Structure 1
């Protein structure tokens, strides 16, 4: 393929021919990369010519006009979401205006000529995402940003659980808090608990069953065998060890919980056929359909495969006949292991029940947002989703980020991308299903790497990330659907828009009502001055940090830079020195901003290099954050406790135990702490005053 025709093919497939590097200079994408990505992508022309695209999206009051690419007269019929039918005839090649009134939702347009039919999904969406009444009224709310697995308590089994989440909601509501922001709760890998990154899930439609609060499972409590096991000295010793570790021992926790829950499952099965719980479980299975069935089958099968020595990599490491959910080997296994599949479905049901209970509790407490969930940007290659639906994902590519100053080879996240052409061919149903699953039982959804609605950096398999290219996604359509589902589920949307953000998406997100994320460390003007609290945009959530960045104390003490040097993150000593000097300037600029905003007493030190992080300085930063104009404010318990150790160090795999570091104190101690209560009281007072 010649370069000009190659470029045309790449552009037609949505592959960008250039990107802007860290210095703002355009970099050309190599022909080899274009060819490699075209080879792994679904050919948009493969399905054959149709008079209309498989799906069209109209937002707001935009004129709803279509032009079928066909000759002659054709008949049309429009079936609305609520069952109303419109019909008529039209002339191909001429503009056709959809009938009105046509309400928001998902409608089906059918064109017919003779015996031939063509179908187009018509989606009518609002322009903006949902906003809770309290925020529409101009109120400013705050909440806690919590990595649930880090939570310690006197009753959990070595990892934060849904019982702890309910306690968190109650304690925060009593102190004026409005929400708990959570890490992704997506299903991971019960067969390999140590593969614990919530951002490399097995499925984004189902929950991580490790968060089940076993003490709330009635069938476990009623199981005599289960209670005998639980009360044994051996179990209690293992339980205490899991609780007392400073880092989550995922293998130990999962082993304890699965053992307990298998006892509970045996008790559940003994219930009568007309038992109400059994009826509810049967309805859950029916509603979950194939997605739930094959998630459960995958969890059970992965345990069996690893028992036979298969690697954690999941289905790619399995024998050939087992690498797809519809293979005869898998179907035979499912038929022979119906009880095992039902067990894993039951665990999903328990998790969903407990999480729903947390949401109901937040609403009973009068919280406006209550819970916000986090949607990861993709799933892992060896996931249940790719196993069950490999056509949707491009398994010979992965997503990541282009090269920048700190990462000259770019980033490869190891997550296969959804093919935008397949997504469109399916009327965006996979995207809709994911939104509905993650907008359930919460008042807000955070979308990780929200720029993925516009574009993703694709890296061909076997290549380093600098050999990738941006692939476009239908951003206007996706934002419209996001707004529709947001309004229908009454769930506001927060976009994680940190890092390299293309200019074209900033206004699109703002106009769609998607909240921006404003992290204190990054809110510096060109001259280095920190943005004043009153200049934060109202349509945003403010925070001091995130799970990928240093804690407040870690930032001030440069603990993150010391750790990075220790584990070899930086190429040379000069890089470390440059980062340390930059940090010193940031600290001074932040201290200046605190003084200017009146967040610190006038008598306080003016020079950052002579000031350690103290309880008073910690309170001052929180006062500054509380005064921001952002409608939402997210605070991290790590910062209330003065913790330094990070929960995640981006760019590391084996160098650092990511996703394991627990909070320094259990919930019972945190909310009994005088300094913590003083801090939260101050935040509540200042948020209400603003």
Structure 2
């Protein structure tokens, strides 16, 4: 293949030939990278296109007509989502006008020519995503940001759960807050509990069953066997150890919860078919379909096939005959283990019911947003989703980020990319299903790395992250579907747009009503000064930090730099010294901004190096954030309590116990703390203005 033909093939497949690097310079993609990615994709352009694409998305005032390709005459028939029928004839090369006043939604268009038949999904979408009435006309709201597993309480079993979330919602609402923002609640790996990153899930459509509050499960309370186990001294000791642990002990928590829930399942299974809960569960299973069945089968099989192996044992480590959900061996196992499958389906039902109750509590508390959920950028390579539907993923590649200042070698997140060509061929149904699953029982959805709607950095297997390339996604279509589902589910959308953001996505997100994310540490002008609160755009959520960044106390005390040095993350003393020097400049710039905004006492220190981190300085930072023009403000519980240790240290795997650090104060005591109450009262007063 000549260089020209290689470039043409790459462009046709959506592979960018160059990109703008972290220094702002254009950098060409290597030929070997283009060849490798074309091989990964399996030459997507070889399939002969039909007269219309599998899906057409029309938004706002776009012309309601479709250009028909091919040759000859076609008969067309349109069935609207509401069941109305329309039909006619159309000549290839001309436009097919759609019926006037075709409602927003999903409509099925069929073209026939002799015995040939083609189907297109016509999607009529709104221009913008949903916005709660409370945020219209300059309304401002604040809420708490929490990694749910970090919560301590007198009732949980060593990991924060949906019972804790209910209590947190009530407490935040009582303090004037409007929402609780969560980490991804996606399904993980009960058979490999130490594999705990919420951003490398088994499935983004199903829930992490460890968040079930066992005490709220009726059949646990009514089971004599469960209660005997519950009263055993051994059980009580294990529970107290899990609660008292400084870090979440996932293996211990999982062993306790799964044992308890198996007892409860035995009790539930004795209910009659006419029982109300049995009927609700049966409907849940029916609606969940194959997706739920094979998520449950995966959970059961992983426990059986792990055989005491190391922390993680996904399907790529299984015998070849078990590496796909549709093999004869897997089907035979499923037929012989229907009760095991039903058990894991039941856990998903319990988790969904408890999350729905949390949403109900938020609405009872008068919250306009209530809950916002977090959608990870992908599933892990050894996930249940890639096991059940490998054709949707390019398993010989992973996504990440090109080299930049923070990651000179680039980043490889170990997540296989969704194939945009397969998504289009399936009329975007995988994307639609994903949105519907994650917009349930919440008022907002945060999309991690929202730039993935436009492009993703694909890295061929075996290569470094610096040997990748950007692959484009059908951003206009995806944003249209996002807006449609957002309006239907009454769920606003927040886009995590931190890092290198391509110019073309900024206006697309803004015009689609997707909220931007503004993190205090990054809101600096080119001269190093921090932007004043009024400069924050209304269509955004502001926060001090994120789960990947230091807390307020950690930032001011440079605890993150000390930890990074301890973990060996910096290549030499010179790099560390430059980071400390940069931090000193940031602290001074931030202190100057606090004084300029009038949130610091006039007589307080003007030199950052002479000012220790205190509750007073913490309050000033929160008042500064409360003044921002952002419609939403997310505050981390860690910052209320003056915590310094992070929940995650990017660039580490085993060096630091990521996703395990608990909140330092039990949930029951947080809102009794006078300093916390004073801080939240100040925030509510400022946001109320």
Give the structure 1 partner of residue 361 of structure 2: 361
- CA offset digits 1:611-636 (Å, max 9, x no partner): 11001000000010111110000000
Give the structure 2 partner of residue 667 of structure 1: 667
The 8 Å contact of residues 159 and 253 in structure 1, kept in 2 or not, is answered as yes
Give the structure 2 partner of residue 150 of structure 1: 150
| CA distance in 1: counterparts of 2:448 and 2:49, whole angstroms | 35
- CA offset digits 1:293-341 (Å, max 9, x no partner): 0000000000000126487240000001000000000000000000000
Secondary structure of 2:390's match? coil
| CA distance in 1: counterparts of 2:591 and 2:476, whole angstroms | 41
| CA distance in 1: counterparts of 2:214 and 2:150, whole angstroms | 17
Give the structure 2 partner of residue 677 of structure 1: 677
| CA spacing shift, 1:33–1:609, aligned 2, 3 Å | same
| CA distance in 2: counterparts of 1:408 and 1:174, whole angstroms | 46
Alignment of 1:184-223 (within 5 A): 184-223=184-223
C-alpha displacement at 1:42, in angstroms?
Answer: 4.2
Q: Which moved more, 1:180-189 or 1:134-143?
A: 134-143
| CA distance in 2: counterparts of 1:15 and 1:479, whole angstroms | 20
Secondary structure of 1:634's match? strand
Alignment of 1:247-266 (within 5 A): 247-266=247-266
The 8 Å contact of residues 192 and 311 in structure 2, kept in 1 or not, is answered as no
| CA spacing shift, 1:593–1:310, aligned 2, 3 Å | closer
| CA spacing shift, 1:680–1:309, aligned 2, 3 Å | closer
- CA offset digits 1:58-114 (Å, max 9, x no partner): 111111222211222211111111111111111111122222111111111111111
| CA distance in 1: counterparts of 2:131 and 2:233, whole angstroms | 51
C-alpha displacement at 1:368, in angstroms?
Answer: 0.3
The 8 Å contact of residues 194 and 311 in structure 2, kept in 1 or not, is answered as no
- CA offset digits 1:120-169 (Å, max 9, x no partner): 11111001000001001421000000000000001100000000000000
| CA distance in 1: counterparts of 2:313 and 2:528, whole angstroms | 45
Alignment of 1:404-419 (within 5 A): 404-419=404-419
Alignment of 1:310-321 (within 5 A): 312-321=312-321
| CA distance in 1: counterparts of 2:281 and 2:85, whole angstroms | 36
- CA offset digits 1:241-286 (Å, max 9, x no partner): 0000110000000000000000000000111221111011100000
Secondary structure of 1:651's match? coil
TM-score by length of 1: 0.99
Q: How many residues align?
A: 689
1:532 aligns with 2:529: no
The 8 Å contact of residues 188 and 198 in structure 1, kept in 2 or not, is answered as yes
Secondary structure of 2:200's match? coil
The 8 Å contact of residues 311 and 317 in structure 1, kept in 2 or not, is answered as no
Alignment of 1:56-67 (within 5 A): 56-67=56-67
The 8 Å contact of residues 12 and 45 in structure 2, kept in 1 or not, is answered as no
The 8 Å contact of residues 152 and 243 in structure 2, kept in 1 or not, is answered as yes
| CA distance in 1: counterparts of 2:137 and 2:522, whole angstroms | 28
The 8 Å contact of residues 193 and 311 in structure 2, kept in 1 or not, is answered as no
Aligned-residue RMSD, C-alpha: 0.9
Give the structure 1 partner of residue 49 of structure 2: 49
The 8 Å contact of residues 42 and 422 in structure 1, kept in 2 or not, is answered as no
Q: Which moved more, 1:594-603 or 1:133-142?
A: 133-142
1:478 aligns with 2:478: yes
| CA distance in 2: counterparts of 1:313 and 1:271, whole angstroms | 35
The 8 Å contact of residues 74 and 91 in structure 1, kept in 2 or not, is answered as yes
Q: Which moved more, 1:21-30 or 1:377-386?
A: 21-30
1:462 aligns with 2:462: yes
| CA spacing shift, 1:233–1:108, aligned 2, 3 Å | same
Alignment of 1:518-667 (within 5 A): 518-667=518-667
| CA distance in 2: counterparts of 1:166 and 1:133, whole angstroms | 24
Give the structure 1 partner of residue 75 of structure 2: 75
| CA distance in 1: counterparts of 2:202 and 2:191, whole angstroms | 11
Give the structure 2 partner of residue 425 of structure 1: 425
| CA distance in 2: counterparts of 1:19 and 1:589, whole angstroms | 32
Give the structure 2 partner of residue 284 of structure 1: 284
Q: Which moved more, 1:223-232 or 1:387-396?
A: 223-232
Unpaired runs of at least 5, structure 2: none
C-alpha displacement at 1:439, in angstroms?
Answer: 0.2
1:237 aligns with 2:237: yes
Give the structure 2 partner of residue 512 of structure 1: 512
The 8 Å contact of residues 310 and 317 in structure 1, kept in 2 or not, is answered as no
| CA distance in 1: counterparts of 2:562 and 2:640, whole angstroms | 22
TM-score by length of 2: 0.99
- CA offset digits 1:343-363 (Å, max 9, x no partner): 000000000000000001100
Unpaired runs of at least 5, structure 1: none
C-alpha displacement at 1:557, in angstroms?
Answer: 0.4
- CA offset digits 1:355-388 (Å, max 9, x no partner): 0000011001110000000000000000000000
The 8 Å contact of residues 310 and 318 in structure 1, kept in 2 or not, is answered as no
| CA distance in 2: counterparts of 1:46 and 1:84, whole angstroms | 36
Give the structure 2 partner of residue 339 of structure 1: 339
Alignment of 1:45-124 (within 5 A): 45-124=45-124
Alignment of 1:445-456 (within 5 A): 445-456=445-456
C-alpha displacement at 1:571, in angstroms?
Answer: 1.3
| CA distance in 1: counterparts of 2:46 and 2:656, whole angstroms | 45
Give the structure 2 partner of residue 169 of structure 1: 169
